[in-house]
Amino acid sequence: MGFEGISPAEYRSKIQMELCSLYVKGGLGNGVFKNGKIVSLEKVDGGFEAVDGEGNTVKARKVVLATGIKDVLPPIPGMSSYSVLIKWN
Tens place of pLDDT per residue across the chain (89 aa): 567 788 878 888 888 778 777 765 555 555 666 778 889 999 999 899 999 999 999 888 888 777 777 667 778 787 666 655 444 44
Look at residue 3 in the predicted model and tell me its pLDDT.
72
Sign of CA dihedral 80, 1, 21, 23: negative
Which helix (H) or strand (E) covers residue 50, if one does?
strand 47-52
pLDDT given at position 89: 47
**AA letter at 22:** L
d(CA 3, CA 48): 32
At residue 22, the 3 state secondary structure works out as helix
Give the per-residue pLDDT at 8.
Answer: 79
- Per-residue pLDDT at 85: 47
DSSP code at position 21? H
**In the prediction, which pLDDT does 80 show?**
66
Q: Is 22 left (phi over 0), alpha (psi -120 to 50) or beta?
A: alpha
